[in-house]
Structure 1
Amino acid sequence: MSMFQHPDYQWRETCFVYFHRNHRPLLKHVVETLEALDAGLELSNSQADERGYFESLTVVAPANHAAMDIAYLSGSDIREEAAKLVNELSRADLQPEERDELRRILDCDGRFDVLHFEQIGEEDDTGEGPGDELFDPSALILVLGELSRLTKGVAVDPQSGVVL
């Protein structure tokens, strides 16, 4: 079940991890890597292709009041979208290393879409609900970092224009 269908979560943002599709990891490696973070992540809805390569996964971070749906995409559309994104994110004030990372995206033909969700809910007797507690994006940062490392890829938050 996608987190879009979960009534206690609302979508916040979508981040990307661009990489060469020949660096696409096996599902078991993604699961092992995320479990090794020891960050209290709950993994579910894992899907692999017929050869065991990653297709999709749901990650819930209860302590962070957050969740993520992660899906793999590839093909010529990814290259076109990458070129558009690089054009949108290119600014005069970018540091040289940021420019280099953006240029790397142009050669990528694979991508993980990481949809980030915030936990919400009904108020309790105190007038507070789960959404009133501190929503923490640190689990997202951890997951993006590990996915980038596994794929030798580049993580991007297109809403903020940040290459992670």
Structure 2
Amino acid sequence: MAKEIERKFLVKGDFKDAASKQMRITQGYLSSVPERTVRVRIKGDKGFITIKGIGSSSGASRYEWEKEIPVREVNELLEICEPGVIDKTRYQVPFSGLTFEVDEFYGDNEGLTVAEVELSSEDQAFEKPEWLGEEVTGDVKYYNSMLMKNPYKNW
């Protein structure tokens, strides 16, 4: 069983000059219950379906399974997703041997920018770039599946 371990932070400064890559992401949720979220996503020119399990008590790790599917199928599945679509640009920002994925949101989540870093263990130490702000790992309101239900503009 694949396990994803990541920590999530708000972004408080400029990171774009350090980005090595960026791509637009559009995603919707077929199921957003905490026990199993099922999302479809167009990431650049590729499509994916992803299933995530419930998170650990810290919120830093959880089961994740992902499979590439045709973009045409993602577009069909987006038609039957729960209300709300996530639209964002993801920047990959290398820093001190790790890659931070920074998501800049649009639409109803405009103004929100969140960074995630994938780790090999929940307690892995790492250097934080100066543009990294408050840690929000485990705060469900920052989960993409919650941002479609209660977008940033409503906070």
The answer to which structure has the higher helix fraction is 1
The answer to which structure has the higher strand fraction is 2
Which has the larger Rg? Answer: 1
TM-score by length of 1: 0.28
TM-score by length of 2: 0.29
